[in-house]
Structure 1
Amino acid sequence: MQRTLITGANGFVGRQLCRTLQQSGQHVIALTSGATTSPLAADQHLQCDIRDADALHQTVARARPTHVIHLAAITHIPTSFADPQLTWQTNVMASLNLMEALRLHAPDAFTLFVSSSEVYGASFRHGLPLDEQTACQPMNPYAASKLAGEIAISEYFRQGMRGVIARPFNHIGENQSPDFATASFARQIARVEAGLQPPVLRVGNLEAQRDFLDVKDVCKAYLQLMGLPSEGAERSRCFNIASGKTHSIRNILETLLSLSPLQINIEQDPERLRPSDIPVAIGSNGAIRQATGWQPVIPLQDTLQRLLTFWRAQVAL
């Protein structure tokens, strides 16, 4: 049986990924940095700070994975500006710790390194769908650290370890932190409905257009990438996970507001405006479609309805 180790299993994507992999019949090993606040859909639970190289070596030796999906990272861009040292330690050095542990204790394991579409950065200014050959021009510490992680891990792939790199575009769904726009909108609407805040939503830049995906579709893409052959050119390939379509943040907000029976006003909050925002970010998914047949299937309306339902339940607790 395939034994898949998921780092960052307690996070937004990790929780859904555990469920997706279990449903596919895999033995899921959930690795978290501390105790989980709610149950995970995993067969085995391990705790380790991946920045601790010695502890990670012991953890990997115990887990004996055949496959690894490396999700653990500092992903919040404002945090990457506020604490770049933590960001680089977590996103780069801890990734090196993982690859070294795998090299010594599970050298045949297949590793999926989850990077980010943010690595393209300034290249998005062209306004066109970007493919994997587009120049990477990071515009924040998070993106720069992810690109550095790609380079470091690609060196292990070059030396013969198995794996691929994924560059997911914006993905949304239940359990995402309200630090991110769509979750913030849904949470605020749920709080207004519950009478916990005035009928006003505080928002950032609503004109930006992004390539949005349902987290469930993204997890299915990861599952497909894990099944790629290990030989030849596939060994060190990089894949966008994108829809090839964009929606404005305003459209997302208006859709969420249409799902509420209340009249809610919008107020722009200067503190929510990101200085490095770009007008349009869209990706080409041609490479992953050709390699695996994957494409997103969940309508955005369905994703947003689930997201609002989730936050209504959270607010009611």
Structure 2
Amino acid sequence: MHCTLITGANGFVGRQLCRTLQHSGQHVIALTAGAATSPLAADQHLQCDIRNADALHQAIALARPTHVIHLAAITHIPTSFADPQLTWQTNVMASLNLMEALRRRAPDAFTLFVSSSEVYGASFKSGLPVDEQTACQPMNPYAASKLAGEIAIGEYFRQGMRGVIARPFNHIGENQSPIFATASFARQIARAEAGLQPPILRVGNLEAHRDFLDVQDVCKAYLKLMELPCEKVEQSRRFNIASGNTHSIRNILETLLSLSPLQLSVEQDPERLRPSDIPVAIGDNRAIRQATGWQPLIPLQDTLQRLLTFWRAQVGALI
């Protein structure tokens, strides 16, 4: 049985990943910086700020994982601009802390480092699907820190530690923070339906096209990557997790609006506009499909329906 440690287990993806791994029969160890905000689907729960090297060494010594999925990170791009020092400390130095702790305490553990499609940055300007050989040209502190984390962790892999790097594209679902667009839309719709705000949605840029995935499909991709045989790991260390299709933010919003009985108007909010000269970001997923057989299965409509149902429940609990 795999004994899998998940860093950042209290986050949006971490919560779903705990459930996915438990359902697959793994012993799940949830590592969080503080107390869980609600119960986690984990067999064991450890608290540790991964920026604290000594505390992390103690946590790894206690957990003795066979596998590690490293999710913990600063992922919000505006936050990375506002506090680049925190971003680099968390996304790079804390990742080094993890690999050092594993090297000393669990050297045979297989590590899945969750990077980001944001590392491709300016390469998206071609408008073509990017694959793992596409040049990385980060355009924000978050992306730069993730690429630096890839390089740092890749050095441990080069020296013989086992693992791979995932580059997931935009993924959405329940429990995602409303600082992200799709969750913000769903939350505002739910609040308007409950009479907690006027029937007006305030939005940012709606014209960008992105490669969207359901968080459940992404977690299943992580599970597949953890099961890669050694020869396939040696062939490729980096894998895009992408659908190979794009949807505009406007299309996402219109689909969510169609799921509500209310007539809602939309207003652009200058404070929500984030400058971007990347009109289209799409990924090539052939590498992970060929290596593992993974492919996304959940229709976007179903994801958005679940998302809206989740926020209706969250809002309803406040009334």
Normalised-by-shorter TM-score class? over 0.9
Please say if residues 162 and 235 of structure 1, whose CA atoms lie closer than 8 Å, have aligned partners that are also in contact. Answer: no
How far off its partner does 1:27 sit?
A: 0.1
Q: Unaligned stretches of 5+ in structure 2?
A: none
Partner of 2:230, secondary structure, is coil
Deviates most, 114-123 or 275-284 = 275-284
Work out the CA distance in 2 between the residues paired with 1:194 and 1:156.
51
What is the count of residue pairs matched by the alignment?
317
1:236-292 CA deviation, whole Å, 9 max, x = no partner?
610000000000000000000000000000000111111235100000000000000
What does 1:120-269 align with in structure 2 at a 5 Å threshold?
A: 120-231=120-231, 234=234, 237-269=237-269
Q: Which residue of 2 aligns with 1:77?
A: 77
Partner of 1:166, secondary structure, is strand
Q: Given the superposition, is the C-alpha separation of residues 44 and 248 from structure 1 closer, same or farther in structure 2, using an over 3 Å criterion?
A: same
How far off its partner does 1:125 sit?
A: 0.4
Q: Which residue of 1 aligns with 2:288?
A: 288
Work out the CA distance in 2 between the residues paired with 1:71 and 1:37.
17
1:172-211 CA deviation, whole Å, 9 max, x = no partner?
0000000000000000000000000011100011010000
The letter for the 2-side match of 1:312 is R
Work out the CA distance in 1 between the residues paired with 2:155 and 2:301.
41
Q: Which residue of 1 aligns with 2:42?
A: 42
Q: Given the superposition, is the C-alpha separation of residues 38 and 277 from structure 1 closer, same or farther in structure 2, using an over 3 Å criterion?
A: farther
Work out the CA distance in 2 between the residues paired with 1:216 and 1:235.
26
How far off its partner does 1:37 sit?
A: 1.3
Work out whether 1:21 is the aligned partner of 2:14. Answer: no
Please say if residues 7 and 70 of structure 1, whose CA atoms lie closer than 8 Å, have aligned partners that are also in contact. Answer: yes
How far off its partner does 1:235 sit?
A: 6.9
How far off its partner does 1:234 sit?
A: 2.6
Work out the CA distance in 2 between the residues paired with 1:287 and 1:34.
36
Work out whether 1:87 is the aligned partner of 2:87. Answer: yes
Work out the CA distance in 2 between the residues paired with 1:285 and 1:193.
38
Work out whether 1:279 is the aligned partner of 2:279. Answer: yes
Work out the CA distance in 1 between the residues paired with 2:271 and 2:132.
33
The letter for the 2-side match of 1:180 is F
What does 1:98-137 align with in structure 2 at a 5 Å threshold?
A: 98-137=98-137
Partner of 1:18, secondary structure, is helix
The letter for the 1-side match of 2:69 is I
Q: TM-score, normalised by structure 2?
A: 0.98
Root-mean-square deviation (Å) = 0.9
Q: Given the superposition, is the C-alpha separation of residues 277 and 10 from structure 1 closer, same or farther in structure 2, using an over 3 Å criterion?
A: farther
Q: Unaligned stretches of 5+ in structure 1?
A: none
Work out the CA distance in 1 between the residues paired with 2:163 and 2:104.
16
Please say if residues 51 and 97 of structure 1, whose CA atoms lie closer than 8 Å, have aligned partners that are also in contact. Answer: yes
Q: TM-score, normalised by structure 1?
A: 0.99
Please say if residues 158 and 236 of structure 1, whose CA atoms lie closer than 8 Å, have aligned partners that are also in contact. Answer: no
Work out the CA distance in 2 between the residues paired with 1:241 and 1:53.
30
Partner of 1:267, secondary structure, is strand
Please say if residues 169 and 211 of structure 1, whose CA atoms lie closer than 8 Å, have aligned partners that are also in contact. Answer: yes
The letter for the 1-side match of 2:153 is I
Work out the CA distance in 1 between the residues paired with 2:38 and 2:44.
15
Work out the CA distance in 2 between the residues paired with 1:232 and 1:24.
22
The letter for the 2-side match of 1:215 is V
Partner of 2:30, secondary structure, is strand
Please say if residues 51 and 90 of structure 1, whose CA atoms lie closer than 8 Å, have aligned partners that are also in contact. Answer: yes
The letter for the 1-side match of 2:139 is M
Please say if residues 28 and 43 of structure 1, whose CA atoms lie closer than 8 Å, have aligned partners that are also in contact. Answer: yes
Please say if residues 232 and 291 of structure 2, whose CA atoms lie closer than 8 Å, have aligned partners that are also in contact. Answer: no
Please say if residues 163 and 233 of structure 2, whose CA atoms lie closer than 8 Å, have aligned partners that are also in contact. Answer: no
Moved segments of 4+, more than 6 Å: none
Deviates most, 143-152 or 274-283 = 274-283
Work out the CA distance in 2 between the residues paired with 1:223 and 1:251.
30
Work out the CA distance in 2 between the residues paired with 1:38 and 1:65.
24
